[in-house]
Amino acid sequence: MSHPVAPATGSGRIRTPLPFPTAAKPAVADTQLRANLHRATRTIRAKRARVVDEVPDWEALRDAGSAIKADVQRRLPELLEQFEASATAAGATVHWARDAAEACRIVVALTRAAGADEVVKVKSMATQEIELNEALEAAGIAAYETDLAELIVQLGDDTPSHILVPAIHYNRAQIREIFQRRMADAPADLSDEPAALAEAARAHLRRRFLSARVAVSGANFAVADTGTLVVVESEGNGRMCLTLPETLISVVGVEKLLPTFTDLEVFLQLLPRSSTGERMNPYTSMWTGVTPGDGPQDVHIVLVDNGRSAVLADPVGRPALSCIRCSACLNVCPVYERAGGHAYGSVYPGPIGAILSPQLTGVADNASLPYASTLCGACYDVCPVKINIPEILVHLRQQAPHPPAERAAMRVLAWVMRSPRRWAAALRLARTGAGPLGAYRERRTGARTLRRLPWPASAWTRSRDLPLPAPQTFREWWGKQ
Amino acid sequence: MRIALFITCVNDLAFPATGIAVTRILRRLGHTVDFPADQTCCGQMHANTGYRAEAMPMVRNYVDVFDSYDAIVAPSGSCTAMIRDQYPRLHPPATSVAARTYELSELLVDVLGVTDVGAEFPETVTYHPTCHGLRMLRLGDRPLTLLRQVRGIKLVELADAEECCGFGGTFALKNPDVSTAMLTDKCARVRDTGARVLAAADNSCLAHIGGGLDRHRSGVRAVHYAEILAETGAAS
Ligand code: SF4
């Protein structure tokens, strides 16, 4: 069987309902949120820096990771068919989904066929992307998140705000409050000690694991030559989900492929150090189809496109598909740290979200995201697979619809600046035109800056003074020598 | 060696003192510098905001104006990064002139082999490495190496120095809230150092941070490090 023709764009939770600057506003004003994010990202990036520094061949590993992913992107159709053949031979059933709706339909049908009205979930970013929980609920099926942070977010009727730490925006007092309000079996005297919170969640989840007949998982890697799926995690909840239920449905983005089993050697070094700042993650689970008498006997893999083929078609933007969702770029991003994950409107926040979401949906649908960056480059430096995020941001800005007033101003400015004669005249004009203004303010306050300007310059003078043109430009000084 | 000055549009208009400083430093070291009058702008703002077509005539103008020089020096990390990093991709004939374009500290340390430029500046100074200088040009501590040789200077370390100040060209206008939040944190770190002068290699970032410092009446002056290197203690 071959996979169907892919659609141009993806759907699901990858669109910004509000432009980024608008969505960021409340987060920037929320001092508690900013303090939570500041503390959490600083702690984890310091940890990451420490363990990365221990690895003498880190740069070579990054190159290797980047090269393997580039190879996958070059031969994706071929590798996907190889994966399908290997997984099928091992007893799994492979399904193909063009978009979010199709993927949801497949999972709902499989769950119904298993006769279940609830599922346990783990490691499921792809299912967040396709909005599976909502689809299951609409079909009368309850979905229970089992990842501690995902559980917190689910109980709080919230959405994740970080790839790895979906509840990064909460502190422990807020988590305790959510548990007491929404977790029926939480101890009455629950404290906000991390150990107590984890224990309450563990007891709560244990009952779920033992009763669930269907589990839904994601995967970090899908190995083409063996048909193996790999889940890398810290809590052990994944291991429970992947082994206890009778039916296992894994929802996997098509970009998760690796050509061979030995390629894991590279990625199992890159991922934990970049994401949690650990040398090795506590649990790595791998499964290949069905093993009679051991683990789930009914294994399904849903391979999701949802816009990925469109990304693949663009040679400049394509490396975004190399992302291994480590979240290192989020943790170093000064914009993410102030705006929080929700401002990106997508299940993929931070720098990777700013390049991936607009590519999945088409840039016009997420036009503010490529501008949600200062192009400072910190994300590119930490990315374990060397995705040149600033370069892709600039590339996407090129395709974004531009506001008419901005376009007009940029064109005029470009027209002036491309001619040395016009530019010299404009400099004279700017200098003499601003001269009286500057002289006035200088007489009054002794400062050669402006404090309040009308729109659109007010965006600048709201928080900083604006320097005035100097009394003499450089070229005038040069000419007088 | 024929050294040309690329003074950049922002410096020409608003910060001529930086270009004058670069001229003085190089002349003091015995070099002849030229300022080709037909230069305008490197096109960075247009290219980075998504107006590549509009930027292209500026890119070509740069090549026309500077291609005959052995070295071109710009007192701006981000404009130098635009030329060195983006030009070869945007316009392949620019590859050679791009490779001969240096930020001031690169020209001094790597090309001319100088770290002591004979400056004197008795002030407490802290240094902010701007993003493009730090991560695209990999300037490393070249500017600091030059500043350390300045007589009378007291250099103090800036906490979280490598974190972006929130300027980002049009980012400051498109995302004013986030930009302001980043600026506020940067200004607080600068004030914590107790320095009276903040130095950096980019006047646009300095205009942003300096504008924030002025707004809060911090008393800290933001200057391009070239202006410190140009000071000799003698009345000029
Ligand atoms: S873009 Fe790179 S740093 Fe960011 S999450 Fe993906 S792999 Fe990690």
Residues in chain A with CB shorter than 8 Å from the CB of B14 are 467-470
Ligand 1 centroid – CA B177 distance (Å): 25
Confidence of residue B228 (pLDDT cuts 50, 70, 90): very high
What is the edge-to-edge ordering of all strands in the sheet holding B154-156?
B154-156, B124-127, B197-200, B221-224
Ligand 1 centroid – CA A3 distance (Å): 27
Between CA A248 and CA A256 the distance in angstroms is 18
Q: Minimal Cα–Cα distance from A348 to chain B, Å?
A: 19
Q: Write the pLDDT tens digit of every residue in B5-25.
A: 999 999 998 899 999 999 999
Residue nearest to ligand 1 atom 4, measured at CA? A329
Between CA A479 and CA B200 the distance in angstroms is 27
Lookup result for tokens 């205009």? B207
- What pLDDT shows up at residue B218? 87
Q: How high is the ipTM of this complex?
A: 0.95
Q: What is the mean pLDDT of chain B?
A: 95
- What pLDDT shows up at residue A435? 55
pTM across the whole model: 0.94
Q: Minimal Cα–Cα distance from A160 to chain B, Å?
A: 20
Beta-carbon separation of A414 and B55 below 8 A: yes
Residue nearest to ligand 1 atom 7, measured at CA? A323
> Which H/E stretch holds residue A444?
helix A420-445
- What pLDDT shows up at residue A6? 47
Of A334, A431, A459, the CB nearest to B163: A334
User: What averages of pLDDT result for each successive group of 10 residues across chain A (481 residues)?
Assistant: 59 93 95 91 95 97 98 98 98 97 98 96 91 96 91 89 85 91 88 90 88 95 98 89 94 98 98 95 95 95 97 97 97 96 95 98 96 98 98 97 92 91 86 61 59 69 80 91 84
- What pLDDT shows up at residue A439? 55
- What pLDDT shows up at residue A2? 47
Between CA B12 and CA B44 the distance in angstroms is 15
Atom of ligand 1 nearest to the CA of A382: 3
Ligand 1 lined by A352 (C-beta under 6 Å): yes
Contact A45, A267 (CB under 8 A): no
Q: Minimal Cα–Cα distance from A468 to chain B, Å?
A: 6
Percent of chain B with pLDDT strictly greater than 70? 99
Of A375, A420, A466, the CB nearest to B168: A375
Contact A93, A84 (CB under 8 A): no
Contact A13, A99 (CB under 8 A): no
Residues in chain B with CB shorter than 8 Å from the CB of A411 are 51, 54
Ligand 1 lined by A271 (C-beta under 6 Å): no
- What pLDDT shows up at residue A164? 83
- What pLDDT shows up at residue B11? 92
